[in-house]
């Protein structure tokens, strides 16, 4: 359990940052876990044949990995009451190589009556947002 208190939070406060790293083996492991074997996530030739530069990370992998910054900050994933986002850009993953997504978690809003905080996530790949309006609601 985290020592974070509702009273210690302020709108605009950065509460956590994290660098996510995706390589081809990450995509293969996620495909096996999720059952999503779409070849745009593991086959460069196929990905290029449909207009991509190469393979891309699964959107749900990016989304799920991004919220871990909130889980680690708050210390208890059960305190996350809601999490939503839209995908705004894919994360290209080179083979060989690693792609990095920089995630920053900022307090976007506080609800004193409900004792919840909306945490806004900014996920950047190569300086561009990959998740739009990524928000987690955390209870205290």
> What are the boundaries of each domain within the chain?
6-139
Phi/psi for 138 (5° steps) reads -115, 135
Q: Which has the closest alpha carbon to 84: 127, 32, 132, 18? A: 132
pLDDT in tens, 112-140: 999 999 999 999 999 999 999 999 999 99
User: At 136, is the secondary structure helix, strand, or coil?
Assistant: strand
Q: CB under 8 Å to 89, separation ≥6 — which residues?
A: 125, 128, 129, 130
pLDDT in tens, 3-34: 899 999 999 999 999 999 999 999 999 999 99
Whether the upstream peptide bond of residue 71 has omega within 30° of 0, thus cis, is: no
When pLDDT is averaged across residues 68-88 and rounded to a whole number, the result is 97
Query: What is the dihedral sign for C-alpha 27, 15, 2, 132?
Result: negative
Distance, CA of 35 to chain centre: 19
DSSP per residue, 19-57: EEEE-HHHHHHHHHHH----GGGT-HHHHHHTT-SS-B-
Question: In the prediction, which pLDDT does 69 show?
Answer: 98
Q: Right CATH number for 6-139 from 3.40.50.150, 3.10.129.10, 3.40.50.11540, 3.30.360.10?
A: 3.10.129.10
Residues in the chain, overall count: 140
What is the band of 1 on the pLDDT scale with cuts at 50, 70, 90?
low
Phi/psi for 68 (5° steps) reads -60, -25
């Amino acid at each position: 359990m985290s020592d974070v208190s509702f009273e210690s939070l302020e709108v605009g406060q950065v509460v956590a940052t994290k660098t996510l790293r995706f390589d081809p083996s990450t995509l293969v492991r996620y495909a096996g876990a999720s059952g999503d074997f779409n070849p745009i996530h593991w086959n460069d030739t196929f990905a290029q044949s449909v207009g991509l530069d190469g393979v891309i990370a699964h959107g749900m992998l990016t989304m799920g990995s991004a919220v871990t910054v909130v889980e680690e900050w708050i210390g208890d994933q059960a305190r996350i009451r809601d999490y939503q986002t839209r995908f705004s850009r894919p994360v290209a993953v080179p083979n060989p190589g690693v792609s990095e997504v920089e995630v920053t978690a900022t307090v976007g809003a506080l609800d004193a009556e409900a004792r919840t905080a909306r945490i806004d996530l900014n996920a950047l790949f190569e300086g561009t947002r990959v998740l739009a309006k990524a928000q987690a609601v955390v209870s205290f």
